[in-house]
Amino acid sequence: LTLADARIALFFLYLLQSAFFSTGNIASISSFSLDAVSRLIPVFDPFSQGALLVLKIFAPFALVSANLGLLTRRLRLKSGALFALVIAIGDWLTLRFFWSVRDEGSWLEIGESISVFVIASALCVFVAGLEMVSEAFVRGIEFDDEVNKTPSGNGKINGVKTE
């Protein structure tokens, strides 16, 4: 891993936060507007509509994690190397937020400091889950320069001999 890989990990964290806050009011899932879902399912069906809402929430995370998995493969890094770097940065954030947890002051300040720490702690676990999602998405993807290395590739890309 190099310093450029740390830049990629920081961009991933930025996009992860953007995916978290761009889907709407994530704090209370019951306050989501059902307008987008009711266009797809006009008859009220709470389970189908709930599944679509969950898909709406998790789709950006899946896309961002698949892109990081593709970058890992394209840069020929070990599987999960960039994710481990993201988790290390997340652990550093968690430690910083742990030291800023307050036990005195108003209940709002105490609760806010604890909730920021818990969210940062959950981020590390969530990124580990995203690594598994990424591995599932990019499992069979090979790049042109990797075709010659596989036994089934026989040195051909789309039926054309590369050498």
- Over residues 127-146, the pLDDT tens digits come to 889 889 898 988 888 777 65
Residues 41, 49 contacting (CB under 8 angstroms): yes
CA dihedral 16, 18, 22, 25 (to 10 degrees): 70
> pLDDT by residue (tens digit) across 88-125?
998 999 999 999 999 899 999 999 999 999 988 998 89
Tell me what pLDDT residue 59 has. 87
pLDDT per residue as tens digits for the range 24-68: 655 555 556 677 777 888 888 888 888 888 888 888 889 999 999
* Residue-level pLDDT at 77: 86
Ordered by start, the domain boundaries in the chain are: 3-161
Residues near 29 by beta carbon (within 8 Å), at least 6 away in sequence: 53, 57
Alpha-helix residue ranges (DSSP H) falling in 23-161: 35-40, 46-74, 81-99, 107-137
Mean pLDDT of 142-159: 58
For every residue of 94-125, DSSP letters joined together read HHHHHHT--SSS-HHHHHHHHHHHHHHHHHHH
- Calculate helix-pair angle for 81-99, 107-137, nearest 10 degrees: 180
